[in-house]
Amino acid sequence: MVFLISAIYFFLGFVLTENNAKYLLAGYNTMGEEDQKKFNIKKMVSFLKKSFWLLGVVTILVGIVLILLNKTDSDIVGVITFISVLWVVYSAVEIRKPKYKN
């Protein structure tokens, strides 16, 4: 299960591009055209690609450690995944803020 979750993260990091981000990023496609112009889509895509790859690596490492410790407790993987996703969301807040021109 751990390796499936890692594969999903790697897949998301590979598939996400600037061309399809406008359809895949929650909230972007519902923004007005003016707000979309203020949104730094390149920076967000770059950040999310790196984050998905990092989540994939962390999940694999946790899985390997659990295998080496002969543990099959999926709760640990769930907690680490939850904390990792919270970190991504928290880190993306600054990128999501639109830049207003004075």
Domain boundaries, the chain: 2-96
Mean of the per-residue pLDDT values of the chain: 80
Say whether pLDDT at 102 is over 50: no
> What's the pLDDT tens digit per position in 29-77?
788 888 888 878 888 888 889 888 988 888 888 888 877 887 766 667 7
Buried b (16+ CB within 10 A) or exposed e, 12-51: bbeebeeeebeeebeebeeeeeeeeeebeeeebbebbbeb
Say whether pTM exceeds 0.75: no
